[in-house]
Amino acid sequence: MASRLKPSIDIDLSALAANFRALAAATPGAAPAGVVKCDAYGLGLAPVARTLALKENCAHFFVAYAETGATLRAALADAAPKAEIFIFNGPGEEALAEYHASRLTPVINTLEQAVLWASAFPGAPAALHVDTGMNRLGLIPADIDALLAIKGLNIDLIMSHFACASTPGAAMLAQQHAAFDEIARHFPGARKSLASTGGALISKDYGYDLTRLGVGLYGVGPFGDPHTDIGPVATLSAPVIQRRTVKAGDSVGYDATRRFDAPAQLATLALGYGDGFPRAGSNKAQVFLGGALCPVVGIVSMDLIVVDVTAAPAPVAVGDRAELFGPSLPIETAARACGTIGYELLTSLGARIDRRYLFEGAPADPAMLAPPTRGENE
Ligand SMILES: *Cc1c(COP(=O)(O)O)cnc(C)c1O
């Protein structure tokens, strides 16, 4: 498997489960929900959701779209048939049938969505997202009275989202917290949810009834650096497919952006921007290879990058695998070198990369990765 001369991503589902437990423990009393939008941040919707359900009894999930919610409902059919699946972006007319068929709970963001939902399914539970200052998505507080007047609307969870959850100490955290409490008073019977990963780690007071855990589950510290409560989940590696020695004065890669003052040992890796490795990492990113961090030299190509292994303590040969991020090179560090964040690095990873799922060091049980196919257990 690892010997294939292709990039691969190893996904440690036991580390995912451990991160879920650690983040749940940060806000005692709050139910931890798994945010699995965007194919579980690029790591695979079904394997991630099934691991959380089967190993951690996770019973609440969030995705962005109803069609993803329907896929998730099917993926959890045997593992967590009663799981609550919330749809962040809320309902449009065209998706109402899907909500019904897959028992999805909308997150209402506008008065229009509230009217649509309450008239289609009077009394059916819905979540409400109130915008407390981010000015991105959610009902504006001035519309609360109009919302409360809508007949048949049953809000059983109210949520808001922090603008500055990546910055402990940001003044906006306290402002949004106070605004949330103010609005929540209108919904005394509803559950409350304010925190994503960052909020859950910043204060127990942000836990309320339910936390919405995303990036931390996937091994990325929400504050831009590795976090002690969060272990690495994803390891991106790429094989060396050619070795060469260059002379003083030689250059490497497109546009010859990097020239060598002295002879150097180079290794060419099978991975490029076509796999989602950012071109912005050209001449900036590093990889772990030959027992050390080695710099990317020259421009990142579509399928290839070149690294300088001159200073590596161990010999580097064709077939050896370089780590782009993982236990030896934190994803937060790798992302920063490419001018981005761990969220974007993970969600950009391309379909060409082999995915391998592990649990406690061994290949994960196939039953954790996908539901049994129809007929198999009849
Ligand atoms: C994506 C998202 C989350 C999860 O955020 P993380 O920082 O990944 O934990 C929570 N709430 C909302 C509204 C989101 O859009």
The mean of the pLDDT values for the chain is 97
* CA gap 126, 152 in Å, rounded: 11
pLDDT at 376: 54
Ligand 1 pocket, mutate which of 23, 88, 108, 180 (most atoms under 8 A from CB): 88
Reduced 3-state DSSP string for 258-322: EECCCCEEEEEEECCHHHCCCHHHCCCCEEEECCEEEEECCCCCCCEEEEECCCCCCCCCCCCEE
The amino acid occupying position 247 is K
Per the model's pLDDT, the better-predicted residue between 204 and 375 turns out to be: 204
Could you tell me if the CB of 215 is within 6 A of ligand 1? yes
**Residue 235: CB partners within 8 Å, gap ≥ 6?**
9, 10, 12, 323, 325, 326, 327
- Determine the atom of ligand 1 nearest the C-alpha atom of 129: 13
Listed residue (56, 36, 66) closest to 346, CA to CA: 36
Is pLDDT above 90 for 375? no
* CA gap 16, 333 in Å, rounded: 20
Could you tell me if the CB of 212 is within 6 A of ligand 1? yes
Could you tell me if the CB of 214 is within 6 A of ligand 1? yes
**Whether 240 contacts 320, CB under 8 Å:** yes
Angle at 87 between CA 82 and CA 88, to 5 degrees: 140
Is pLDDT above 70 for 81? yes
Is pLDDT above 70 for 374? no
- Determine the atom of ligand 1 nearest the C-alpha atom of 343: 8
What is the per-residue pLDDT across 135-186, written as a single tens digit (0 to 9) for each?
Answer: 999 999 999 999 999 999 999 999 999 999 999 999 999 999 999 999 999 9
Q: Looking at residue 371, what DSSP letter applies?
A: P
* CA gap 35, 44 in Å, rounded: 12
Could you tell me if the CB of 201 is within 6 A of ligand 1? no
Query: What tokens were used for 33?
Result: 């929900």
What does 170-235 look like in DSSP terms, one character per residue?
-HHHHHHHHHHHHHHTT-TTSEEE---HHHHHH-GGG-TTEEEE-TTTTT--TTSS--TT----EE
Is pLDDT above 60 for 377? no
Q: What's the predicted TM-score (pTM) here?
A: 0.97
- Determine the atom of ligand 1 nearest the C-alpha atom of 215: 8
Listed residue (70, 52, 48) closest to 60, CA to CA: 52
336 three-class SS: helix
Distances (CA, A) of 65 to 7, 39, 68, 107, 194: 29, 11, 5, 10, 20
pLDDT interval class at 3 (50, 70, 90): low
What is the per-residue pLDDT across 220-277, written as a single tens digit (0 to 9) for each?
Answer: 999 999 999 999 999 999 999 999 999 999 999 999 999 999 999 999 999 999 999 9
| Mean pLDDT for the stretch of residues 104-122 | 98
**Whether 241 contacts 269, CB under 8 Å:** yes
The catalytic site residues sit at 37, 254
**Residue 308: CB partners within 8 Å, gap ≥ 6?**
264, 265, 266, 294, 295, 297
Query: What tokens were used for 149?
Result: 């007047």
pLDDT interval class at 200 (50, 70, 90): very high
**Whether 276 contacts 315, CB under 8 Å:** no
Could you tell me if the CB of 164 is within 6 A of ligand 1? no
| Mean pLDDT for the stretch of residues 344-352 | 97
| Mean pLDDT for the stretch of residues 336-356 | 97
pLDDT interval class at 4 (50, 70, 90): confident
Least confident piece of the model among 3-7, 314-318, 327-331: 3-7
What is the per-residue pLDDT across 17-28, written as a single tens digit (0 to 9) for each?
Answer: 999 999 999 999
| Mean pLDDT for the stretch of residues 54-67 | 98
Is pLDDT above 90 for 2? no
| Mean pLDDT for the stretch of residues 62-73 | 98
In whole angstroms, how large is the CA radius of gyration of the chain?
23
